[in-house]
Amino acid sequence: MSSLQGWYRFYGDFNDSSGNTRNGVAGGNASASDGVATFDGVNDIVTIDKAVISGDTFTICFWAFISSTQTAVAGYFCADGGDADNLFIRQANANQYFCGIGETQLDNLITVSRDAWHFNVIFHDTDGNYGWYIDDMVTAKETKAGSNFAAIQTEFNLGNRTDLLRDLEGLLRDFRVYNRVLAVEERQKLYNSSRRNPRGFNRGVLRGVA
């Protein structure tokens, strides 16, 4: 059985290609075309069923491109029911971002250059350990222990928070959610294959990571 719980390819819609029919519902001007989801920074949001992350072990993988004109405190994704339900990456200031899971946050702000594509991997395991990889799939930008995250209790949103106060101005592509922690070889495979073939990776090249 595949561990892929949600796969959003963005070819004309926000439907789930994992076979689990956890299709996204777009709000505002969020659009999907030719493998890219576009958010214009003004009340755009894509809402996904909370069942996409139903336990405490997961990996989230995606490519992101943040516009140089981004001015809001943007969120790549947010699940914001409160306390142990928290799960987000959002902008802190300028080119710096931070990640929060449960009632904890990574200790350091992470610098992410704008107007460039970056491959992101977020993981969380059953012992409460989590971390964030950007482009380098071997060495995490930061890891931390002690999260109390259990599962998403509300919806899972791309490009914003439920109250529309985390507007993303930028692009997402090949957004995947697994119900396990991917091994370094799997992370590397996803990154290397999609970097070499930026169109083809959304068309089944990477089905080997199941």
CB 61 within 8 A of CB 182: yes
What are the tens digits of pLDDT across the range 169-196?
999 999 999 999 999 999 999 998 877 5
CB 198 within 8 A of CB 191: no
Per-residue model confidence as pLDDT tens for the chain (210 residues): 589 999 999 999 999 999 999 999 999 999 999 999 999 999 999 999 999 999 999 999 999 999 888 877 888 888 765 556 678 888 888 788 888 888 888 888 998 999 999 999 999 999 999 999 999 999 999 999 988 888 888 889 999 988 888 899 999 999 999 999 999 999 999 998 877 555 444 443 334 466
Q: What is the pTM of this model?
A: 0.91
Q: Cα separation of 104 and 149, whole Å?
A: 9
Torsion of the alpha carbons at 56, 182, 89 and 57, rounded to the nearest 10 = 0
Q: Cα separation of 89 and 52, whole Å?
A: 17
What are the tens digits of pLDDT across the range 122-134?
999 999 999 999 9
Q: Domains plus CATH for the chain?
A: 4-198 (2.60.120.200)
206, HSE (Cβ side, Cα atoms, 13 Å) = 29
CB 96 within 8 A of CB 199: no
Contacts for 69 with CB less than 8 Å, ≥ 6 apart:
41, 169
In the chain, the amino acid numbered 101 is I
